[in-house]
Amino acid sequence: MQHGKYRFIVGFLAAPLALYAVFVIWPFVQSIYYSFTDWTGLSPDFSMVGFDNYARLLDDDVFWKSLQHSLLFALVLPVVTIGLALFFAFMINVGGRHRKGAAISGVRGSSFYKIAYFFPQVLSIAIVALLFQFAYNPESGAINSALKAVGLGDVQPLWLGDPDLALWCVMAVLVWSTVGFFVVLFSAGMASIPKDFYEAALLDGASRVTTFFRITLPLLWDTIQSGWVYMGILALGAESFAVVQIMTTGPGGPDYSTTVMVLYVYQSAFRDGAAAYATTIGVALLVVTLAFAAVVMKLGRRERLEY
């Protein structure tokens, strides 16, 4: 009987695992292999060069800038995005005033706010980047026009043209475009928490802040941890690439002030014709991503709470 069960499990998992190995694991193995070659990406001919690409990586100032920016994305974006999402979700679900017949409720208009926060998720990240590129235009953009309208005509930053501001402008776009997803995610988690917990805490004199840190946060911790890892991967991967590629000059400028690792991979492969070096940067990006996920899972580990 046991033999038949294990045979069924192996037969059921064989096809998915084979597809995963072919389309996920094998490309990683190929990338690591090509990082030890001089492949240009345009010719089938290449030769092994050992650790030359990795030695070049250590002396590449642009790589170190891109690594710094990617790490900043991975550290700042999850903190801001998840912090805002938790606040909005808490207010939507349990942050309202006491009402007749409902001790615990969200703020008025909470259904509308859910739709409004989630709306950016409906838009393609490319469309979002283009919209904000127009908004950041220093001459005719909506932001500087609004500053003029309120009497701040002397305050006209270059936004994406300023090396000190460009990276933060890109981060703001990513926060705006992703916070709605986590609001809905955390709202679903908060809706599953029994209202009795909140009502008992309020009867005991607990404030809204206390209920958030003593009830909501502990019971949502697994969801928050997963969201943190997911947001970090987004910040290190395709989302940051799309926004930087579309919005910034260069792209990645001015003066490499917005270059991130995934963009540098693309530029090395398709602009510079150095596919082997691009895979080397990709291997470094893989290490950074795995390290980030491992650190978050390790620091966020705690005893599971059930209710």
* DSSP calls for 63-128: HHHHHHHHHHHHHHHHHHHHHHHHHHHHHHHH-SPPBTTBSS---TTHHHHHHHHHHHHHS-HHHH
Distance CA 125, CA 173 (A): 9
Evaluate if residue 1 carries a pLDDT over 60.
no
The residues, ordered by sequence, that sit 6+ positions from 57 with a Cβ below 8 Å of its Cβ are 63, 277, 280, 281, 284
162-188 mean pLDDT: 92
Choose among 72, 177, 176: nearest CA to 124: 177
Positive or negative CA dihedral for 263, 266, 270, 275?
A: positive
Q: Across residues 63-83, what is the average pLDDT?
A: 93
Average pLDDT (83-90) is 91
Q: What is the pLDDT of residues 190-234, one digit of tens each?
A: 888 888 887 788 778 778 788 888 888 888 888 888 889 889 888
Select from 1.10.3720.10, 3.40.50.150, 1.20.1300.10, 3.40.640.10 the CATH code of 51-299.
1.10.3720.10
Q: Give me the count of residues in the chain.
A: 307
The residue to which tokens 């580990």 are assigned: 301
Give the confidence band of 307 by pLDDT, cuts at 50, 70, 90. Answer: low
Contact at 8 Å (CB) between 199 and 103? yes
C-alpha distances in Å from residue 141, one per residue of 43, 60, 132, 164: 44, 36, 9, 19
Which one-letter DSSP state was computed for residue 163? T
Considering Cα of 258, then 264, then 270, then 273, what sign does the dihedral take?
Answer: positive
Checking if the pLDDT of 250 tops 90, the result is no
Nearest to 228 by CA among 79, 90, 113, 121: 79
3-state SS, residue 187 = helix
Average pLDDT over every residue of 128-138: 92
Average pLDDT over residues 259-266: 94
- The pLDDT of residue 266 is above 80: yes
Average pLDDT over residues 264-280: 92
φ, ψ for residue 149, nearest 5 deg: -65, -30
Q: How far apart are the first and last CA of the chain?
A: 36
- Model confidence pLDDT, tens digit, residues 4-55: 667 777 777 888 889 999 998 998 899 899 999 998 888 888 899 989 999 9
pLDDT of residue 152 exceeding 90, the answer is: no
Asked if residue 155 has pLDDT above 80, the reply is yes
Give the pLDDT of residue 59. 93
- At 199 the pLDDT is 78
- Helix, strand, coil share of the chain (percent; to 5): 70, 0, 30
**pLDDT the model gives residue 43:** 81
pLDDT value of residue 36: 94
Mean pLDDT taken over the chain: 86
